[in-house]
Amino acid sequence: MAFDQGAVKFRLFYLQNTLSSSIITNFADNAAPPLSTLNRDPISGWVTGKHLLDREITDEKCVFGPYLYTMLMKAERKVPEALLKAHCKLEEEVELRARGVAFLSRTVRSEIKQRVVDNLLPDMPPTLTSIPSVIDLSNSLLIAGAMSDKQIDAFNPYFKQTTDILPILLTPETAALKRKQVNHNDLPLTSFSPDLSVEPPPVTTLGMDFLTWLWFEWEKNGGVHKNSDGEEFGYMLEGPLTFFREGEGAHEAVLRKGMPLNSREATTSMICGKKLKKVKFTLAHQEKVYTVSVDSEFAFRTMKLPKIEQMESSGIFQERMRLIELFLNDWFALFDRFLDLRANTKDWNDTVDKMRSWILKTDTK
């Protein structure tokens, strides 16, 4: 999903150092090679946010206000699985007849598969994939569509090669340290279960603690808060819900249909010591309404942004990024409030007691 249209998905990264004034030149120097150079091995490089074949990286094409928009493109040739399997079967039948045997060893089948790939690969059209990325130059923040560990492992080294800066993935733990100087390793382990025989998890679960607390805070206090600019916004949580706890039994529970927030299954999960790991989150800031699926590692998926008035393409992109920035300002206002509680032993113990009572009352609905 690109950032200039439709729903978006992204992770956040801190940029520890100041970007060079020659940043555009650096991206241009690491632009994707022409597709004509593609052989057996994949090729990668930067393209503009316009499309995956636009290798001309310039200020005019990539810099929009405080945002630098590029995509890391990867091109490779692949043999479709069904086509590969069919050709392998044909070759294996020929090999069986030639050898006069009933079956082929794993080594022979592997050799046949490699031979088929070698024969078919040069005729395969390029497959293009990309990871969109936006550098917020005013906040030293990187917003990238690198969602999986595999994508992050591919994206980060290439970004460092280009900018000489290794992005730091923003997680609840890194955000707590940067925003409030709270080290998650110094926090006491917490169980929200009203059953006091349920032990806390073996490690701090800061992100799940936050999402579970956010659910409690919304139900008890109405879901109205103020951001760092003093502006009021509202929020609510919806299903599907994912609960998680490391340990014996079922580690994960997913509740999808009906009214999962009010279900006994949700209450049972929390009594057993599970915490909220993933939820649908809705935020309303004045007339602007956002919906997003967010997890305990602060990965934002399928974010639907508020509608904006039609304008030219660069204006649309800037307005969408401004809306994302507004959402993040509100989101981290909630996280900051949580951190203030979490880092204060007395306030947090009082909050945990209230949450245990809330879980028990939920169970009596």
Domain termination residue (choose one: 89, 122, 155): 122
Query: Is 147 inside a domain boundary?
Result: yes
Which residue, 56, 90, 122, sits at the end of a domain?
122
Number of domains comprising the chain: 3
Which DSSP state fits 184? G
Same domain, residue pair 96 and 151? no
Mean pLDDT of the chain, nearest integer: 92
User: What would the pLDDT profile of 204-229 be if each residue is shown by its tens digit?
Assistant: 899 999 999 999 999 998 889 988 88
DSSP string, 217-260: HHHHHTTEEE-TTS-EEEEEEEEEEEEE--SSS-SEEEE-SS-G
Q: Quick one: 101 and 215 in the same domain? A: no
Q: Look at residue 131 and tell me if it is in a domain.
A: yes
pLDDT band at 249 (very low <50, low <70, confident <90, very high): low
Whether 19 and 148 share a structural domain: yes
State whether 115 and 161 are in the same domain. no
Residue 1: pLDDT band (50, 70, 90) is low
Whether 148 and 289 map to the same domain: the answer is no
* Number of Cβ atoms within 10 Å of the Cβ of 136: 19
Residue 52 has pLDDT above 60, yes or no: yes
Confidence tier at 364 by pLDDT (50, 70, 90): very low
**Is residue 190 scored above 90 in pLDDT?**
yes
Residue 341 lies in a domain: yes
Specify whether 155 is located in the same domain as 259. Answer: no
Kindly list the distances between the CA atom of residue 188 and the CA atoms of 183, 202, 344, in Å, as whole numbers in the listed order. 11, 10, 11
Two tokens at 79?
């043999």
Would you say residue 3 lies in a domain?
A: no
- Classify residue 141: in a domain, yes or no: yes
**Residues 190 and 238 both lie in one domain:** yes
d(Cα 290, Cα 313) in Å, to the nearest integer?
Answer: 21
Please determine, for residue 362, whether its predicted confidence score (pLDDT) is greater than 70: no
> Is the same domain home to 197 and 334?
yes
- Same domain? For 349 and 244 the reply is yes
Would residue 2 count as lying in a domain?
no
* Residue 17 sits in the same domain as residue 92: no
Residue 1 in any domain: the answer is no
pLDDT tens, 256-291?
876 777 778 888 899 999 999 999 999 999 899 999
Last residue of a domain, one of 122, 152, 183: 122
- Contacts by 40-45 with C-beta closer than 8 Å and gap 24+? 40/77, 40/121, 41/76, 42/74, 42/75, 42/76, 43/74, 43/75, 43/76, 44/72, 44/73, 44/74, 44/75, 44/154, 44/158, 45/72, 45/73
- Residue 97 belongs to domain spanning: 81-122
137 and 105 in a single domain? The answer is: no
Closest CA to 163 of 30, 257, 331: 30
Report the alpha-carbon distance of residue 34 to residue 53 in Å, rounded: 8
Tens-digit pLDDT profile for residues 111-153: 999 999 999 999 999 999 999 999 999 889 999 999 999 999 9
Please tell me the pTM assigned to this model.
Answer: 0.89
The verdict on residue 354 lying in a domain is yes
Residues 245 and 197 placed together within one structural domain of the fold = yes
